[in-house]
Amino acid sequence: MALHNERFVRPPFDPRDLHRPLAPHDDLTATMVWREERSVTASLTLHYNKAMFILEPTEISRKLMRKRVSVCEYPDGRIEIRHGDHVLPYRVFDKMRQVNQAAVVDNKHLDAALMMARAFQELAPHHRSRNNNEPSRPSGSRTIFAEGQSEGAGKVDGRRIGRPKLKKLPQRLSAAELEARGTAQFVTR
């Protein structure tokens, strides 16, 4: 930044501060918001940021089937679904919920399944973050997505994370290779 400022900084034409104070009708919370358009399905749901939002069946929301609405995410973490001047009530179904092993009753067979589910969740770190295709926004502690996210977690590039690529095997193995693998008995000739 110092090199950039050294190269491009210029003195202002007018050194006075010409910022005007906010007028009473100015609403910064309505201006400083991340807006995205989403389509409402026939079942009054929409998807945003890997979560499904279920609209309450009101008079207004029933008329919005197969129409576009605005999802507004405020800097403090609040999310509103708006259509024109109307704020629509909704419930959230989070598709990225984690298994809470302490909340489940202890069971011999269930422990193994839960440990395997936890291992699978730890193997897929790219599914733990949201906004893979969006600009990075700070998430406050009051967001609906705050649980399970670490503070300051940046974007994750899903193209570079994942399982290692498998090596291609030859098309046909010789009889000696099949015997060495112990699979010669399963091959029909």
pTM for this structure? 0.47
Alpha carbon distance 127, 130 (integer Å): 8
**Which pLDDT does position 28 carry in this prediction?**
83
Question: 8: how many CB neighbours lie within 10 A of its CB?
Answer: 7
Alpha carbon distance 38, 66 (integer Å): 10
Question: 10-residue block means of pLDDT along the chain (189 residues)?
Answer: 92 90 86 92 92 93 94 91 94 75 58 77 63 56 52 55 60 74 65
